[in-house]
């Protein structure tokens, strides 16, 4: 199986705090991506990090990738109530590339105003 686990499964924080979510995977990858899903909606792409990159920033998002540990983390700084959603990491394996993009089980984030 390509994908591992995300932790925590659920995270509840106060508005203004930082939220950190982790993702692990099993096979060598080309890219790792993070997506967000609001309840009952489709997934929205947040950020992509390539296997030769170690860190990437986009606004209040910071993603790190450690290919030696096969893990990634997503940090959301200065969280807002509107950040409440589920967050999923997704990987495409070197062997299959874009043919197979696999999602982790996700972290449910609640930001309390």
Q: Is 109 in the site for another protein (CB under 8 A)?
A: no
Q: Is 4 in the site for another protein (CB under 8 A)?
A: no
Of 21, 90, 109, 111, the one binding another protein by CB under 8 A: 90
Provide CB contacts within 8 A for 36, sequence distance 6+: 43, 44, 46, 85, 86, 87, 88
99 near another protein, rule: CB under 8 A: yes
Using rule CB under 8 A, residue 31 touches another protein: yes
If one asks whether residue 58 binds another protein (CB under 8 A), the answer comes out as: no
The reply on whether position 34 binds another protein by CB under 8 A is: no
- Of 78 and 100, CB closest to another protein: 100
Contacts with another protein by CB under 8 A lie at: 30-31, 33, 35, 37, 39, 41-45, 48, 86, 88, 90, 92, 96, 98-106
């Amino acid at each position: 199986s390509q994908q591992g686990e995300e932790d925590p499964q659920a995270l509840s924080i106060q508005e203004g705090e930082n939220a950190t979510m982790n993702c692990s995977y099993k096979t060598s990858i080309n890219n790792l991506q993070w997506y967000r899903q609001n309840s009952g909606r489709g997934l929205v792409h947040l950020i992509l990090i390539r296997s030769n990159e170690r860190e990437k920033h986009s606004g209040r998002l910071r993603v790190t990738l450690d290919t030696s540990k096969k893990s990634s983390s997503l940090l959301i700084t200065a969280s807002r109530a509107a950040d409440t959603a589920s967050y999923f990491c997704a990987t495409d394996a070197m062997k299959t590339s874009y043919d197979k993009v696999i999602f982790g089980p996700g972290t449910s984030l609640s930001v309390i105003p």
